[in-house]
Structure 1
Amino acid sequence: MTPVVLVISGHDPSGGAGLVADIQSVSACGAHPTLAISALTEQDTRNAYAVFPVPVPQLLAQIQRVVADIRPQAIKIGLLPNPTIAQSLLPVLDRLADVPLVLDPVLIASGGGTLADADLTPLLREALIPRATVVTPNLPEAQALTGCPDPVEAGHALVGMGAGWALVTGGDAATPDVANHLIGPECTTTRWPRRPGSFHGTGCTLASALAAGLALGRSVPEAALAAQQFVDRALSTALRPGRGQAIPHRQR
């Protein structure tokens, strides 16, 4: 039976990030995505310009209906545009506390546009990160959440907040290669070639691939490594359908 990943995230109409990226990544990694839309956005491959949150009753109705029919083996949470929406998810997550949760703390688009309210950060720290099996921030997100400029220190701080594991990615760091740091009961650093150009949707791709790995029964280190390999392959054959950033080519 194909395992299921419940994805709670926003819709990016360019298809570079958000639910389209989640669907493609989860499917390519061997799981089936079920979906709940947290927000519509105005985006293209260059930037994000506006976010339109889904009303809480509509978001919860999506989740409750699909979970009653199709129980997930993993959950991936991406864009949560405001604290009200994030707070509304807590009872749902508590009812599914035995299901691994991958939290991608989306705060700023890769083009620099703001995607979440500034007052979401405290709720992430206090309520969502402690419920996460893995939290997958890029370096700017990790710094915003912890105040630590060093990625390893930030990863330890996120685990100190209650996350089971933190995978802090280094695509935004000014380094010759990309160093990703997995912090948890064991700590590893993996290095990947820095692909030329800039990309839209790598964080969604990584988190969704990791969630698919957990749904398939892999351990966190195994799922994290497989997800990083998937992202590297997707970037090596990235598409450029628009006038802005390239989009990972998410395929088996």
Structure 2
Amino acid sequence: MQKDSLPEVSLAGLWLFLRRKGAFMVTASQHTPIVLTIAGSDSGGGAGIQADIKAISATGSYACSVITALTAQNTQGVTGILGIDPDFVKAQLDAVFSDLNVVAVKIGMLADANIIGAVAEKLREYQPQYIVLDPVMVATSGDLLLESSAIDALKTQLLPLATVITPNLPEGAALLGCDVPQSQQDMEALIDALRALDTPAILLKGGHLESEQNSNDLLITNSDVQFFNTTRIATNNTHGTGCTLSSAIASFLAKGNELDEAVKLGKEYITQAIAHADELKIGKGHGPVHHFYALNKDA
């Protein structure tokens, strides 16, 4: 008598079944929270995957990574970009999710629509608890990091999956197809349009308002707007600030904080990392923030 054959089950399907059954449930006291960063590599070490791993580690979580693009980059600019094959991006995601209990995901540079599609497909399969999307489009130096044709793919495929997105003012304007805000009043005028995006929360970052004495960010949800105001710090070393903040928020979410508290803690961390940035002497252009300022202080 022939035995019944077992149905084929995908790796992602098996992982999701076990997760729903509680096979991977752990408490913070039992295991360090794991945060996955999906982003491009910065060969200069100040932004991208390198900044993400530093920020996640400095804020008390374990960092793992999926690289979507390679950049030839330093403190002065980007001289080359090489996208990773989307199938290999998927392979990296399968490798991470099949073994590690990822609580939060931070998404940064994705380069093109095919990579966006690959990432969205796997996130729908594995369904991590938190997703922080930093819609990286332009580097601090002004170099374009996302093909303009990929913006629609970002909006339709990834925004609906995100817990929160963290655009700066040029990125927010690109998502909405409007002029870049020039004042806090201009930022507030975008609230309704941002709420119309298919995502539950938006942290609109006001760091580009150089005329303002404070760096004011708005956390916008359907029911509330919270202001996070910090005194602007005079420094030329701001490379990787967006990557660092979004990674810190993902780390604090993974550690069990509510979104508004995770944003507050993330803002406190990036503020101190910027305040200590001049202690580092890295490169000839916009140097990085000081991710491990607290460790160096203790030493």
What TM-score range do you get, normalising by the shorter chain?
over 0.9
Across the aligned residues of Structure 1 and Structure 2, the Cα RMSD in angstroms comes to 1.3
Return the offset for 1:136: 0.3
TM-score in terms of structure 1 length: 0.96
- AA partner of residue 205 (structure 1): T
Q: Distance in 2 between matches of 1:234 and 1:42?
A: 24
Partner of 1:46: 76
Note the residue ranges of structure 2 that are not aligned, 5 or more in a row: 1-30, 295-299
Structural mapping, 1:162-177, within 5 Å: 162-174=198-210, 175-177=212-214
TM-score in terms of structure 2 length: 0.81
SS of corresponding position for 1:168: strand
Partner of 1:240: 281
Return the offset for 1:128: 1.0
SS of corresponding position for 1:141: helix
Structural mapping, 1:193-208, within 5 Å: 193-198=231-236, 199-208=238-247
Conserved 8 A contact 1:38-1:81: yes
SS of corresponding position for 2:173: helix
Partner of 1:26: 56
Q: Distance in 2 between matches of 1:83 and 1:242?
A: 32
Structural mapping, 1:18-167, within 5 Å: 18-148=48-178, 149=181, 150-167=186-203
Q: Distance in 1 between matches of 2:269 and 2:191?
A: 22
Return the offset for 1:147: 3.0
What is the CA deviation profile of residues 165-207 of structure 1, one whole-angstrom value per residue up to 9, with x for unaligned ones?
Answer: 1101111113121111111132111111111133110000000
Distance of aligned partners of 1:192 and 1:28 in 2 relative to their CA distance in 1, 3 Å threshold? same
The answer to whether residue 223 in structure 2 is matched with residue 182 in structure 1 is no
Q: Distance in 1 between matches of 2:271 and 2:117?
A: 34
Q: Whose RCO is larger (CA < 8 A, sep 6+)? A: 1
Aligned pair count reads: 252
The percentage of counterpart residues that share the same residue type is: 35
Note the residue ranges of structure 1 that are not aligned, 5 or more in a row: none
What is the CA deviation profile of residues 36-90 of structure 1, one whole-angstrom value per residue up to 9, with x for unaligned ones?
Answer: 0000001110112221001112111111011100020000000000001001112
Conserved 8 A contact 2:52-2:247: yes
